[in-house]
Amino acid sequence: MQKLLLTIDKISTFAGQFFSWLIVALTFMITWEVFSRYVLDNPHAWAFDVMSMMYGSLFMMAGAYTLSKNGHVRGDVLYGFFPPRLQAGLDLALYILFFVPGVFALAYAGYGYAADSWAINEHSNITANGPPVYPFKTIIPIAGAILFLQGLVEIVRCIICLQSGQWPSRGQDVEEVDVEKLKEMVNVKDEDIAKLDTLVTAKGVAK
């Protein structure tokens, strides 16, 4: 069981990280397109469609990855102050109430949506002779399914937390504000910060 959960975690992380490299491709593609249009005078009609497909696949596929790293924005006015058991209980209830039906519906609806698109061999109509859209629409059920699986993992995490009283650890990942890394980047050490304390207290006394 535990192993299965970790595997799902890994799958969604891998899928998210794999698709996240699209941002580099997107950067280069648009830069090239701008160069091609203004300097070579050779704009491509498909560029716009491809751009939005890259962006759409990027964020849809990263949804499960973000969830597995607890990266979706939460209102943590209160949440942050709750004890872990209460957090887990609330999360569990809301996963079952909102997440499971919502994401399942999205994935299911996305399946039908993509199937229709495949059936009519749909092409983009933004420009004449646009690129095919059906692979892009297929992203919705795939991303939905991975997200759904990841949600199940999160539910199990909540249950584990309810039993043991503390959150099971998550896979290591790069963080937006990694204080240790930032400290290293600007060459500040913990002792330096601790030393400042004397300044703060000295000032407090002097006042």
Partner 1 sequence: MKKEIWFGLSIMAAVVLAAILLLPPFAEMTNGHLGLFMLALVVVAIMLGFPTAFTLMGMGMVFAYIAYRSQNPSLAVDQTLDLMVQRAYSVMSNDVLISIPLFVFMGYLIERANLIEKLFKSMHLATARVPGSLAVATIITCAIFATATGIVGAVVTLMGLLALPAMLRAGYSVQLSAGAITAGGCLGILIPPSVMLIVYGATAGVSVVKLYAGAFFPGIMLATLYVVYVVIVAKWKPHLAPPMSAEDRRVPLPAFAQVVSTTVSDKVLPGLVGALKGKRNASVPMRELLNHMVIALLPLVSVALIMGAIFLKVTAPLPVEEVSGVVAMGGSLENSSEAESAGGLAEPEDEGGLKPPPAEEAPVAMGQAAEAPPAAEPVPAPAPVAAVPAAPAEPVVAQERLPAPASFWVALASAAVALAIFYAYFSFARLEIFKMLLGSFFPLALMILAVLGSIVFGLATPTEAAAMGSMGGLLLAAAYRRLNMAVLRESVYLTAKTSAMVCWLFVGSSIFSAAFALLGGQELINQWVLGMNLTPVEFMILAQVVIFLLGWPLEWTEIIVIFMPIFIPLLPHFGIDPLFFGLLVALNLQTAFLSPPVAMAAFYLKGVSPPQVTLNQIFAGMLPFMAIQVFAIFLLYQFPAIGLWLPETLYK
Closest separation in Å from C-beta 59 to partner 1 = 4
Provide the 3-class DSSP secondary structure of residue 132. strand
Nearer to partner 1, 58 or 161 (CB): 58
Closest separation in Å from C-beta 131 to partner 1 = 12
Nearer to partner 1, 45 or 78 (CB): 78
Nearer to partner 1, 5 or 114 (CB): 114
Crossing angle of the two packed helices 84-94 and 134-164, in degrees rounded to 10? 140
Return left, alpha or beta for 177; rule: phi > 0 is left, psi -120 to 50 is alpha, else beta.
Answer: beta
Closest separation in Å from C-beta 50 to partner 1 = 11
Nearer to partner 1, 129 or 176 (CB): 176
Return left, alpha or beta for 163; rule: phi > 0 is left, psi -120 to 50 is alpha, else beta.
Answer: alpha
Crossing angle of the two packed helices 47-68 and 22-38, in degrees rounded to 10? 160
Q: Which residues on adjacent β-strands are paired with residue 132? A: 123
Closest separation in Å from C-beta 85 to partner 1 = 14
Crossing angle of the two packed helices 134-164 and 47-68, in degrees rounded to 10? 10
Nearer to partner 1, 45 or 188 (CB): 188
Closest separation in Å from C-beta 1 to partner 1 = 24
Q: What would the two tokens of residue 96 be?
A: 């079952």
